[in-house]
Chain A
Amino acid sequence: MGYSAFRILKEAITGHKGWKPVWHKAEPLPEYDIVIVGGGGHGLATAHYLASKFDQKRIAVLEKGWIGGGNVGRNTTIIRSNYMLHENEAFYEFSLKLWEGLEQDVNYNAMVSQRGVLNLYHTDPQRDAYIRRGNAMLLNGADAQLLTAEGVRKMYPFLNFDDARFPIRGGLLQPRGGTVRHDAVAWGYAHAADKRGVDIIENCEVTGFDIKEGRCHGVQTTRGRIGAKKVGVAVAGNSGRVMAMAGMRLPIESHVLQAFVSEGLKPLLDGVITYGAGHFYVSQSDKGGLVFGGDIDGYNSYAQRGNLPVVEDVCEGGMSVMPMIGKARMLRMWGGIMDMSMDGSPIIDKTHIDGLYFNGGWCYGGFKATPASGYSFAHLLATDSYHETAKAYRLDRFARGYMIDEKGQGAQPNLH
């Protein structure tokens, strides 16, 4: 019997004895058909879709720590599909549609809440860039509206319209954008994959690949060798370290992105707001905390913690765009390891080593991509062909000159 209100009633009456583990602690088998390296959102989603949409069997997900301990547990929970380039927008709109059906697909409430994402603009060039982006969104079947300053004021009257160094001149709104309870995404996919026989193996760190004559036959781990016909690596910030074990250098740098949450507050902010003249974006969680962030620290780091200048820069942006926020108190700061790519867009591709596939380069946009990344990586692993919406995410695009550069910042990861 799945999770539902009736199940809660039944268990409540019988003293909660009937609840089973959300996912089982599997022991590693010597051999699988497909091994996914990385028990974060993307790895678990890949396993779920491999089993549920591509009818694959004998799948294992290897996680070096505890599932959901990486970026899926450390982000600011925003989902949206408001990209300018078709190579991205098609993929992220596909992801948003998967989000909309997630609870029913995995029978776990990740609280997908679509209350709108509003990108503020402050100059004519910014407005024009958002018009170009909004039109690209509509071309891909997403929803987009251009609001004037008055339109923004109606939605969020507490924004700074009177005393702004960079006045709010309007905003691009995606009503279907919103937030999702991030932890529940990892647990939900784990729960559904587990139900279809996927082995979820925690505390099992990959320490090397078994590669002979250009083909990958499995991995070495802290819990012994595990054979596999195909190995899919989805380890986000650790991409560089893991693929180095296969002798590969990637167009990726690992950077720290800090995120912040305030003490719990009565509801005052419905959707997600991003500030166009400073590094600040914010939403309010269902528990009442303001979840906000800004830019990456800017230097390579695996430390999962950042430094003060960014904290102050984010709060300066927050105070400038919504001056009521001064009295909210910051409760917790943490950091994730962002796999920043050379054009700000991801890579979902085979490698020159047969049987070894790579998924990474998500910068700080990985959370919203979780379902589509899982689905298209499963498609590639199962069929050896690219999913329609992810065909541009090739590893060799940089050599061929087909960069997918939303911000136009070029080959400098910390500017994306």
Chain B
Amino acid sequence: MIIHHPLLGPRDASEFVYLGDASLMNRPNPKSETAADDFYSYQYLRDNPMGEHRELWYHEQGDRSWLVVTRNTLTHDITKVELARDVARAQK
């Protein structure tokens, strides 16, 4: 597969390491009363859709940036690639 890195352009996906669903960026608040349940569903449950899926890739053999890639899990078409840092800062 080819991932269009926002700063470096198209790169072979074999330079990247896949982590999983981008929901892993939303780490729950450890101090809330429902922390145990929140962390359980955050760590263990997944939408696992057949279709559009926002996921985390790490450019290990490139610039060591984490990317949020929007990819269709049936056709593998990639429609969007963002720097995870920018997405994280926007969410704060």
Contact = CB atoms under 8 A, between A and B. Distances in A.
A241 B50 CA distance: 7
B83 interface: no
Contacts of A413: 20
A251 B1 contact: no
Nearest to B46: A253
Contacts of A299: 1, 13, 18, 55, 71
A413 B41 CA distance: 15
B49 interface: yes
Contacts of B65: none
Interface in B69-85: 71, 73-76
Contacts of B1: 299, 307
A307 B37 CA distance: 37
A302 B73 contact: yes
Contact of B73 (A298, A303, A309, A342): A303
Contacts of A204: none
Given A300-B53, A413-B20, A414-B18, A249 B47 contact: yes
Contact of B19 (A252, A309, A412): A412
A250 interface: yes
B44 A342 contact: yes
Interface string B45-60: 1111110010100000
Contact of B49 (A240, A251, A307, A309): A240
A254 B47 CA distance: 10
Q: Is the interface of B mostly helix, strand, loop or mixed?
A: mixed
B74 A302 contact: yes
Given A251-B44, A251-B45, A307-B13, A298 B18 contact: yes
B67 to A, nearest CB: 13
A303 B48 contact: no
A305 to B, nearest CB: 9
A303 B74 contact: yes
Interface in A34-82: none
Given A303-B74, A412-B19, A253 B48 contact: yes
Contact of B14 (A301, A309, A399, A412): A309
A371 to B, nearest CB: 27
Interface residues of A, number: 25
A411 interface: yes
Contacts of A402: none
Interface in A358-416: 398-399, 411-414
Contact of A251 (B17, B18, B46): B46
A300 B72 CA distance: 9
Contacts of A412: 19-20
B45 A254 contact: no
Interface string B12-50: 011001111100000000000000010011011111111
A288 B44 CA distance: 42
A414 B48 contact: no
A75 B89 CA distance: 43
Contacts of B50: 238, 240-241, 254, 302
B40 A398 contact: yes
A252 B46 contact: yes
B18 A399 contact: no
B73 A301 contact: yes
A178 to B, nearest CB: 33
Given A300-B73, A303-B73, A250 B40 contact: no
Contact of A249 (B20, B41, B55, B74): B41
Given A240-B48, A299-B55, A303-B73, A253 B20 contact: yes
A156 B59 CA distance: 40
B74 A399 contact: no
Given A240-B47, A302-B50, A307-B1, A254 B73 contact: yes
A240 B49 CA distance: 7
A399 B74 CA distance: 30
A342 B40 CA distance: 11
21 contacts: A240-B46, A240-B50, A249-B46, A250-B46, A251-B45, A252-B46, A253-B21, A253-B48, A254-B48, A298-B18, A299-B1, A299-B18, A300-B21, A300-B48, A300-B53, A301-B73, A301-B76, A302-B73, A342-B43, A399-B37, A413-B20
Given A250-B45, A300-B20, 10 more contacts: A240-B48, A250-B48, A253-B21, A253-B48, A298-B17, A301-B73, A303-B74, A303-B75, A309-B14, A411-B43
Interface of A: 238, 240-241, 244, 249-254, 298-303, 307, 309, 342, 398-399, 411-414
